[in-house]
Structure 1
């Protein structure tokens, strides 16, 4: 669970470091950021042209950005740990995933035995696995020993490096991890508890960009309502597929999702693969495998013009056709960097023109136009103005932008922000966005 919250600050990483948050994380994981030379080499490898110059010019801000990113990643990850019902010791350790033995980590600068022991073990495991993939794990662990890594735990690895590395080089790492689980085994009930877990991970994937916040839950809810109108579609299966249909979005750089203009061929190819990644994430679990075929084809079209495989109508069951229609409807009504959100009338006309199943489209439009639920009671004691600010904060707007949007002063926004974070018991934008999505309060930019 160390990196369960890794999508929390994808938007910020892309905005500040050249658009490719995945490359930022990959390079950052291999960098001793407490070493000024390594840190500058890391920054110099990001972006190109004027973008590279902008990144280097912002070097003084990097420590603050790193600390904030670590806090957000850990806070979201710990929330997912709690959702799984794991012991508090696990969430406490996830909160310290980016702390270092020498106290030069983030977000709190904890050191030595003040870093939970499981987090110290996980840090050594992470360093071994990461550097084994690129060569030099023994050298790196030796160099980081007593700095980023607990020297005693690092010494355990170094005393039998080849034996430990054989474990991390298993032919099937998934099976090896499952086999290594200590008894008693933990199970998620195949009911509301599983729905909550899937919703939590759908929310985490939606953190990839503020434009996606609430997308998974919106698709899932509409899919369940529309499925009730179609014979042969299981509303529960449609709902779960909706929750996790876009898990594969995390495999695509946020700069691609947030690009305001047309995608180039390489970028478009990355986008085309995200449904495939969603399916592969689910395929290894016997319980979730039935969702795999549905979510991996939610961008396919009846005439073969969809992606990633370009299959035609004969290979698309009704549940898959329904999810495709629901996802299209929901997306058309959401803003994107390259277009505004469509009105319901515009979206209805557009979806009717696309090569989607007609029965599925009729069910979606009928469900979307049905009785609207009354606005739910707020989960905490928020004023209406605080709710406005919360939604804009969660959507990634700065305090200055919020002040301009709401016609209030920046100092008033700051006061509201302090109150909101306190009432919601979070400290980062990403965790606030998760809170908003969980309680149906999310709004896109």
Structure 2
């Protein structure tokens, strides 16, 4: 079994910060700017270096669970990306459908997933606990301490306050931002902390425009599976669960069959795990559309690889892989996107990756169509190669790799095992794992029951047991943990 591609914890946090920002419709450097503000606030309040580091990590991962709630906000707001941007900048129209009743469950889910991400990254307990409390609600009476509510980590308040200042100032000006922040002083954050921020707000915002090196994190040399990034990205669209893992494995074997060197193969596999990064910046309504996309939707979809390329410029550690990943939808005849690259501009690395993405997608179910059989997918790609859209050698290598192990391209395959994650026998029964595979792809209890020839009540009973065993309260959290542990 091949070993997992890995990435340092610090670089993984940086990538997840970008993913969260794009998912929320925020500027691609919002979380990094918030981290600097929050650390300054913690320092101003007298906290030590370790607390400032924890605060910075919480700020960077503030929106990391937002992919898990994209579907819920898409239902509430129509546009999960633009709608959430309007929500956090407080520019939503007065007639919005948001209420505490329908937003609180999504906030709790987002906190759960963000906390799980911190745990999977091996971050400290105070970072994990801060993320699990980040979007909770409080009353004035909770603020018994002049600065902090009992039982809630201090980083929560630093990050809430810094994040609001950073996101509200461009929309309302610094004075307007402080006025809006003041309206929630004593509830969302302690009033005294707001008073300590106010005199420095403009100067600290101005300082963000100055270039700076990323702050060092003491655990930067630890490494985690790169597949975790793909799993978090794909929580945005349940039907994508495990997709990039399968693309990565097919890419690896295709590169071998194409006679490529290990030096060429490694960035391809890593690019396969990152190729969907920019997809989070495009509203769910585009990806979930059951029929053909109109011109406006296509324009939005074409932005996905552009944002993947932008991420490459934001996080130097993934520049090579993310740049390569941004070519996944280019075509030899220039009909792809977003660059409209053609011919010699696309080498064998770009060509194999593009074919592996398409082949895996064709063999996976989508909201607008059932999966193709692998023979049908091979025939379609062979015809496309003959028409000049794909490289013939790349197509032949991908088809041969898929035929050597057909399960690599199917959504029902064991995604964690395909990517090399360690399997943990015994945690879930075979039936429970089967149920979770269906549920993780967004299927309802009725759909899962029909597929597995069970009753919906039996499916729900299995799901309850699965959640208990995994220590999860939501489908996205259970999916993330199960993929990381190689259970599905």
Q: TM-score range by the shorter chain?
A: 0.7 to 0.9
Aligned match of 1:264 in 263, 272, 294?
294
Aligned match of 1:343 in 368, 373, 380?
373
Q: Aligned partners of 1:231, 1:381: CA distance in 2, in Å? A: 39
Question: Corresponding residue for 1:220?
Answer: 248
Asked whether the equivalents of residues 20 and 255 of structure 1 are also in contact (C-alpha less than 8 Å), the reply is yes
Q: Aligned partners of 1:301, 1:92: CA distance in 2, in Å? A: 46
Aligned match of 2:85 in 17, 26, 32?
26
SS in 2 for 1:278: helix
Instruction: Give the drift of 1:339.
Output: 1.4
Q: Aligned partners of 1:24, 1:70: CA distance in 2, in Å? A: 15
Aligned match of 1:364 in 394, 398, 405?
398
Alignment CA distance shift 1:94-1:240 (3 Å): same
Asked whether the equivalents of residues 330 and 338 of structure 2 are also in contact (C-alpha less than 8 Å), the reply is yes
Asked whether the equivalents of residues 71 and 428 of structure 1 are also in contact (C-alpha less than 8 Å), the reply is no
Alignment CA distance shift 1:277-1:103 (3 Å): farther
Instruction: Give the drift of 1:220.
Output: 0.7
Asked whether the equivalents of residues 69 and 110 of structure 2 are also in contact (C-alpha less than 8 Å), the reply is yes
Instruction: Give the drift of 1:378.
Output: 5.0
Question: Corresponding residue for 1:155?
Answer: 195
Which shows bigger deviation, 20-29 or 257-266?
20-29
Question: Corresponding residue for 1:431?
Answer: 477
In structure 1, list runs of 5 or more residues that go unmatched. Answer: 32-37, 46-55, 106-110
Q: Aligned partners of 2:137, 2:170: CA distance in 1, in Å? A: 22
Aligned match of 2:180 in 140, 152, 159?
140
Asked whether the equivalents of residues 424 and 435 of structure 1 are also in contact (C-alpha less than 8 Å), the reply is yes
Pair 1:409 & 2:455 matched:
yes
Aligned match of 1:8 in 64, 68, 71?
68
Asked whether the equivalents of residues 278 and 308 of structure 2 are also in contact (C-alpha less than 8 Å), the reply is yes
Pair 1:333 & 2:333 matched:
no
Q: Aligned partners of 1:357, 1:131: CA distance in 2, in Å? A: 48
SS in 1 for 2:317: coil
Question: Corresponding residue for 1:318?
Answer: 348
SS in 2 for 1:369: helix
Pair 1:128 & 2:165 matched:
yes
Asked whether the equivalents of residues 238 and 441 of structure 2 are also in contact (C-alpha less than 8 Å), the reply is yes
Instruction: Give the drift of 1:371.
Output: 4.3
Alignment CA distance shift 1:104-1:207 (3 Å): farther
Question: Corresponding residue for 2:26?
Answer: none
Instruction: Give the drift of 1:167.
Output: 3.3
Question: Corresponding residue for 2:24?
Answer: none
Question: Corresponding residue for 2:134?
Answer: 97
Question: Corresponding residue for 1:17?
Answer: 76
Q: Aligned partners of 2:432, 2:100: CA distance in 1, in Å? A: 30
- Superposed counterparts of 1:236-247, under 5 Å: 236-247=266-277
Q: Aligned partners of 1:404, 1:282: CA distance in 2, in Å? A: 43
Q: Aligned partners of 2:118, 2:240: CA distance in 1, in Å? A: 22
Q: Aligned partners of 2:351, 2:303: CA distance in 1, in Å? A: 18
Instruction: Give the drift of 1:128.
Output: 0.4
SS in 2 for 1:359: helix
Q: Aligned partners of 1:419, 1:348: CA distance in 2, in Å? A: 40
What value does the CA root-mean-square deviation take over the aligned residues?
Answer: 2.6
Question: Corresponding residue for 1:35?
Answer: none
SS in 2 for 1:348: helix
SS in 2 for 1:356: coil
Asked whether the equivalents of residues 19 and 256 of structure 1 are also in contact (C-alpha less than 8 Å), the reply is no
Instruction: Give the drift of 1:229.
Output: 2.0
Q: Aligned partners of 1:379, 1:137: CA distance in 2, in Å? A: 52
Asked whether the equivalents of residues 82 and 91 of structure 1 are also in contact (C-alpha less than 8 Å), the reply is yes
Asked whether the equivalents of residues 72 and 429 of structure 1 are also in contact (C-alpha less than 8 Å), the reply is no
Deviations along 1:329-360, one digit per CA (max 9) or x if unpaired, are 01111111211110001100111122111111
Alignment CA distance shift 1:204-1:361 (3 Å): same
Asked whether the equivalents of residues 100 and 149 of structure 1 are also in contact (C-alpha less than 8 Å), the reply is no
In structure 2, list runs of 5 or more residues that go unmatched. Answer: 1-60, 143-147, 408-412, 418-422
SS in 1 for 2:334: coil
SS in 2 for 1:8: helix
- TM-score for both structures, normalised by structure 1: 0.83
Question: Corresponding residue for 1:353?
Answer: 383
Deviations along 1:88-114, one digit per CA (max 9) or x if unpaired, are 211111111202443899xxxxx8232
Instruction: Give the drift of 1:413.
Output: 2.6
Q: Aligned partners of 1:401, 1:148: CA distance in 2, in Å? A: 41
Deviations along 1:251-300, one digit per CA (max 9) or x if unpaired, are 00011100011112121111111111112112333331111331111111
Instruction: Give the drift of 1:134.
Output: 0.5
Q: Aligned partners of 2:439, 2:100: CA distance in 1, in Å? A: 22
Deviations along 1:294-339, one digit per CA (max 9) or x if unpaired, are 1111111111111101111211121111100100101111111211
